[in-house]
Structure 1
Amino acid sequence: MSAPLPPLPPAPAVDDNDVIPGGRNMVDILVDDHHQISALCDRLRESLADASAASAIAEVLVAMLSRHLSVEEQYLYPTARSVLRDGEHLAAQELAEDAEMLLTLKQLHGSAPDDPAYATLVATVSRQHRRHAMRASEEIFPRLRARCSENELIRLGNRVEIAHEAAPTRPHPATPVTPPVNKVLDPAVGVVDKVRDIIAGRTTWPEDL
């Protein structure tokens, strides 16, 4: 069974399967996301005594996790639904967990390091993400590698990288989480978020910390 991908632009006597795409595959990109987010969680927990450092790291963590969940909702879960026998159940389970994580993330984003509940929120987000990454690594990623061709995963990776750039940088728990609506709405929300980021001078990428 193939991953759900739109066809490539038509070319005479060329089949999609004959085209070797370039770039990283979707699973590798999302695994790398998980590593970066885990590292940010560790840095934030270690920086709680320094309010300025904690605030800067938290902004990047919020942005990274918001982007990550958006692209998974747009591409990972639809692929799981399409190619895995229990994909519908897995996707529903992940979306429910992600909804809880977004709510916690929104609370964290609205709090300051000197808030009495701040350390608890940081610990909760860290725990939720750790569970999220472990489930994906054990229940979804290996099975997608087995069921999808490398070309399919790379083409999905191309789309994920584009979606990363356009995704929201703040948690929006109330927005739709399934295609096609989220593929239209998330980039629009992302534009608003990025304008707000520019006005606020907000850092949203780990390499800029």
Structure 2
Amino acid sequence: MTTSVPLPPLPPVGGETTGPNVVDVITREHHELRELCAELTAEGTDAARRRTLAQVVVASVSRHLSAEEQYLYPAVRATVPDGGDLADRELLEDRALLESLRLLDGAKQEELVDRAADVLTRLDRHDEAMARELMPLLLQLASVEDLIRLGNRFELAEEAAPTRPHPSMPVTPPWNKVVDPAVALIDKVRDVVGRRTTYPRDL
């Protein structure tokens, strides 16, 4: 039996809710993020590309975690038995991952590989927890339409999310949905001024 996730309906496209579901979106992004980290830590990556890859990893993971905090974890709390405990556990792990990203963002060139390796280790744990536990539970307990609606909101939230790690920011609604976009504006101005690369497509 599925449980309705408390989200307002999105306008239908072609008479029905369309788009990738949140599980597919997160699974795809986890794969892409791990590939970026793998290249960042690879022995043959030259120094200039390593620095640019570090910028993209920091920005991409920061956006991803912000979207998870805004939409995925509230859905887990509302849908999954003991979902609150699962969400709280993952939020603690995400704080540690954001701190690891902060250290990577400020790392000297000779520190990049070690800092990136720590990010990759934490990202692997994050991905495993999602793939083995949270995602299967959501697929089982939430409706297909709700999962697609969550996927839509997840992708929209990422576009308005911070591009730098902010471990001390609020991690639960409603405050994160207010604070994250405001902080993101500042981050994006800094990105433009510093000519920082923040998307994999720009590598």
**Range of TM-score over shorter length:** over 0.9
Choose 1 or 2 for highest CA Rg. 1
2:40·2:116 contact (CA, 8 Å) conserved in 1? yes
Q: Is 1:126 equivalent to 2:120 in the alignment?
A: yes
* Secondary structure, aligned partner of 2:7: coil
Q: Does 2:164 align with 1:204?
A: no
Structure 2 CA distance for aligned equivalents of residues 70 and 57 of structure 1: 20
2:173 aligned counterpart, secondary structure: coil
Q: Which runs of 5+ in 2 are unaligned?
A: none
Out of 134, 137, 140, the residue aligned to residue 131 of structure 2 is 137
Structure 1 unaligned spans of 5+: 10-15
**Please, what TM-score do these two structures have when normalized by structure 1?**
0.91
What CA RMSD, in Å, does the superposition of the two structures yield over aligned residues?
Answer: 1.5
Structure 2: which amino acid aligns with 1:33?
E
- Asked whether the equivalents of residues 79 and 141 of structure 2 are also in contact (C-alpha less than 8 Å), the reply is yes
> Which residue number corresponds to residue 62 of structure 1?
58
Matched, 1:173 2:160: no
Deviations 1:33-79 (A, max 9, x none): 10110000100011576221110000000001000100000011000
1:6 counterpart residue number = 8
Is residue 62–residue 171 contact of structure 1 (8 Å, CA) maintained in 2?
Answer: yes
Gap change, CA 1:47 and 1:55, over 3 Å in 2? farther
Name the CA distance, whole Å, in 1 between partners of 2:43 and 2:162: 25
Distance 1:47 1:206 in 2: 20
Equivalent position of 1:21 in the other structure: 17
The CA deviation string for residues 56-105 of structure 1, in whole angstroms up to 9 with x for no partner, is: 00000000100010000001100000010020110010000000111111
Q: Partners in 2 of 1:188 and 1:139 — Cα distance?
A: 32
TM-score by length of 2: 0.93
Aligned to 2:187: 193
- Whole-angstrom CA distance in 2 between matches of 1:202 and 1:161: 21
Amino acid in structure 1 at the alignment position of 2:191: D
Q: Distance in 2 between matches of 1:78 and 1:42?
A: 30
Q: Is the 8 A contact 1:38 1:130 kept in 2?
A: yes
Across the two proteins, how many residue pairs are aligned to each other?
199
Distance 1:185 1:47, change over 3 A: farther
Report how far residue 112 of structure 1 moved: 2.0
User: Aligned to 1:176, what secondary structure does the other structure show?
Assistant: coil
| Percentage of matched positions with identical amino acids | 48
- Alignment-derived partner of residue 105 in structure 2: 109
User: 2 CA distance for matches of 1:23 and 1:8?
Assistant: 11
